[in-house]
Structure 1
Amino acid sequence: MTPSIDESNALFDFVVQKGNGVKGLVDNGIKIVPERYIQPPKERILIDKKIINSNDDIDQVLLAIDLSKLHGPEHDQVVGTITKAAETLGFFQVINHGVTLELLESLKGAAHNFFAQPPMEKAVYLKEVSPSPLVKYGTSFVPEKEMALEWKDYVSMMYTNDDEAHAQWPPQCKDVALEYLKSSTKMVRILLEILFENLGATLDEEKFESLTGLKMVNMNFYPSCPNPELTVGVGRHSDMGTLTVLLQDGIGGLYVKLEQGVEDEWIEIPPIPGALVINVGDTMQILSNGRYKSAEHRVRTTSSESRVSVPLFATPKPSEKIGPLPQLVESDGVAHYKQVLFGDYMKNFFGKAHEGKKSLDFAQNDDSA
């Protein structure tokens, strides 16, 4: 039975600790958003609050970049578009990326299939009881530390090798998720080579492995919400890793903050059939000494239908040290970030609720101003 929305502790136990998730509330016919999910006014996503005038930078996310043109006469133009997007918005979309359309559709279907299971089937992967350290099912981000919970359930699958993925990832989605990871990793390599070359650096195999040695595929589920104007699917944050590859469905709801211009301007990343969304993570901003921008983004909810998204996070291993490339520090005359152990950065990132790009403060060099 769904707890009373006035019983905060009972609600937390039902949703978080027993693994029913937000979907459990919706499936039980909840008609009003519980108080634990109501966001402060400043965090709510009002889609009609502001109309942003189009400009060249914004247009880069409205039109997908055709990666097949890297092999033709428009190579330099495509490279320029990618690097400019990384330097400004931190977001861009790509098509002809090497991941088949059939696989993308299968991914969305697999995500719906996983979350359609009875709660007890999903709850076996809860953090405290999961039979595998590679798989975690949960809800919100860090619910124990959040004043207002996020309207999202998820399953996270960490990659070590093919055999362990086949043996330990959930059977409803392991095959398609593994194929997505492998196909996308090839694209990540191409994009990172472009971004490194623009910095005057070379991405060899050792460097690529150090920056992407830890990979995670998440499947996110955003149930339909009775009061979407009061909630968020995901709060304001940037990703901690190097690059994120995201498949979103056709419903929409992903917003990125514009760093330049009027404060608190956001633009929706429109769903484009067959496209994948790429965003720069904190690691890349640190590595580039601030030239590339990790993208602050968030997700709204909707009352019409449930939404899924499937991100692949390409991040350094916890044992890797990250810091600005030495040649950039030399040319810039200052290191805006200090060298940190990525495992420490991860611990800090997951140790608090989402709060914009404040995760970067952990690596900020106080002497860089």
Structure 2
Amino acid sequence: MAPAISSTTAQSTHSLDIVNFVVNQGNGVKGLSDMGLETLPEQYIQPPTERTTSYSVVPEESIPVIDMSNLGDPKVADSICDAAEKWGFFQVINHGVPIEALENVKDAAHGFFSLPPEDKKKYSKEHSPTTNMRFGTSFSPRAEKSLEWKDYLSLFYVSDDEANAYWPSVCKNQALEYMRASEVLIKRLLKALTRRLNVENIDEDKELLFMGSKRINLNYYPICPNPELTVGVGRHSDVSTLTILLQDDIGGLYVRKLDDDSWVHVPPISGSLVINVGDALQIMSNGRYKSIEHRVVANGSKNRISVPIFVNPRPGDIIGPLPELLRNGEKPIYKQVLYSDYVRHFFKKAHDGKLTVDFAKI
């Protein structure tokens, strides 16, 4: 049960140690939201430059939507590659992942975040039975000057045996089902994308380089007082090869356009999945495919769920521009880096847009 706070629980957090309540006691921002706060705690107030009111949004534009029902058509593969080059983001429909698997994992995410704080706390960094699983809040609370209005459960997949032994029973089977069901889609996307990079066949070694590890997150964005003063997730690009994102029907994901400083909303489309290029693929494509800044706004009226699968190199892999690109004299713009070093650099700081990729630049 959440601890008793004070007689002003529903109105104020002045008497509450926010970090202890949210982070250490496992209540998360859901615990704050459930208190019925009328004002945002100051720890979550973002600098004016990071608030939604500081961004120029283009309402009539959005990322490409690609129908994958006829992937044998070269035009479909071209549209995937073009979107990865020009936007770094696209949505796919008729992708082959069963709608039931998508609905099940969304329901399971709601189920996990509905658990009492003491049950969720069992999966926090300090209490989790494995380092591959973590319940947390914000992004990096100890590095951030302003916290983000989000809770999450992060599950790094090692094996079915470990998942069955340690992942929460309320969401374990559904998360595994979603990951397995997405496997064919991921391979099809990589096949299309790598052909434009002069990689004609993805052998076992290449497949492991592109998708040798996976992480699935269950993200929860509870109703927020003063959503205009904070963010659900701050500006960043992913460190993955590809990210496969399942949205619910509420929306709130925004993507930065490559050609200017404006942003576009990624509208929820029933049954669709959002695909985005991560830093690892930007580096391996020598900058041809772009990992793009994106962010999530907070919502003042509804609770939002999203479920991304991060498809990554293995921690011990060395990533750099693919040799197939450099054989014809193309100059590398990124060095060879140990993937685990790159990821460690990303997680030791607050979200800062695209600055992480500078770690790999020559």
Common fold, TM-score beyond 0.5? yes
1:95-134 superposed matches below 5 A: 95-134=93-132
Query: Which of residues 161, 183, 186 in structure 2 aligns to 1:185?
Result: 183
Identify the residue that residue 69 of structure 1 maps to in structure 2: 70
Report SS of the residue matched to 1:331. coil
CA positional deviation for 1:332: 5.4
Query: How far apart, CA to CA, are the structure 1 residues paired with 2:287 and 2:29?
Result: 37
1:57-96 superposed matches below 5 A: 58=62, 60=64, 64-71=65-72, 75-96=73-94
Cα 1:50–1:210 change in 2 (3 A) is closer
Identify the residue that residue 250 of structure 1 maps to in structure 2: 249
CA positional deviation for 1:18: 1.2
Query: How far apart, CA to CA, are the structure 2 residues paired with 1:181 and 1:269?
Result: 22
Unmatched 5+ stretches in structure 1: none
Aligned residues: 353
Structure with a larger share of its residues in helix: 1
24-33 vs 42-51, which deviates more? 42-51
Unmatched 5+ stretches in structure 2: 7-11
Query: Which of residues 16, 29, 33 in structure 1 aligns to 2:23?
Result: 16
Cα 1:70–1:50 change in 2 (3 A) is closer
Query: How far apart, CA to CA, are the structure 1 residues paired with 2:93 and 2:44?
Result: 36
128-137 vs 224-233, which deviates more? 128-137
Query: How far apart, CA to CA, are the structure 1 residues paired with 2:161 and 2:59?
Result: 48
Query: How far apart, CA to CA, are the structure 2 residues paired with 1:70 and 1:327?
Result: 24
CA positional deviation for 1:323: 0.2
Query: Which of residues 263, 279, 282 in structure 2 aligns to 1:282?
Result: 279
Cα 1:191–1:335 change in 2 (3 A) is same
Indicate conservation of the 8 Å contact 2:221/2:305, yes or no. yes
Query: How far apart, CA to CA, are the structure 2 residues paired with 1:342 and 1:59?
Result: 28
Query: Which of residues 193, 196, 201 in structure 2 aligns to 1:195?
Result: 193
Identify the residue that residue 294 of structure 2 maps to in structure 1: 297
Report SS of the residue matched to 1:298. strand
Query: How far apart, CA to CA, are the structure 2 residues paired with 1:159 and 1:239?
Result: 17
Identify the residue that residue 5 of structure 1 maps to in structure 2: 13
| Identity rate, percent | 52
* Structure 2 letter corresponding to 1:209: L
Cα 1:149–1:2 change in 2 (3 A) is farther
* Structure 2 letter corresponding to 1:88: K
Query: How far apart, CA to CA, are the structure 1 residues paired with 2:144 and 2:15?
Result: 17
Cα 1:2–1:139 change in 2 (3 A) is farther
The normalised TM-score by structure 1 is: 0.92
Identify the residue that residue 241 of structure 1 maps to in structure 2: 240
CA positional deviation for 1:111: 0.5
